[in-house]
Amino acid sequence: MYTLNCANCGRLNRVPDAYRGRPLCGVCHRPLPWIVDADDSTFGEVAERADLPVLVDFWAQWCAPCRTVTPALEQLAREMAGRLKLVKVDVDSSPALARRYTITAVPTLMVLHEGRVVAQRAGAPPAPQLRQWVEDTVRAPS
């Protein structure tokens, strides 16, 4: 069970782990920002089977650029609530995923649509550049 905080009214909402759609706040009925952690065992259910585009942040606790880009990613997830799911994967605790997606640098950002990788980039871009990249990718997934 995930607990998601509504960006509109501030209430906490519980959403089942296997929820695949666009979660709505139980109080104000606005889309919830979908920000969750995943690991080797949960990634398939959380990210690959999602019904909306997924922005995956492959990061590490020791990585300063990862910590720098996190606020922009979370803000983007709040603003794109109902259109995007943000999934964070710690590469140190999920080595199988890092190998599977050939993650050689952190942060690496990847967009999945219907379980397929449609875009990927390494590094921590400035917030406006990040926003443009995600919006362009989500608008026209290949």
Residues catalogued as catalytic: 63, 66
- d(C-alpha 78, C-alpha 59), whole Å: 19
Contact 86, 77 (CB under 8 A): yes
- d(C-alpha 100, C-alpha 134), whole Å: 22
Contact 72, 130 (CB under 8 A): yes
What phi and psi, each to the nearest 5 degrees, are found at residue 57? Answer: -110, 105
- d(C-alpha 70, C-alpha 50), whole Å: 21
Closest CA to 33 of 90, 70, 89, 84: 84
Q: Please report where in the chains the tokens 């999945």 appear, as a residue.
A: 112
54: amino acid identity, one letter: V
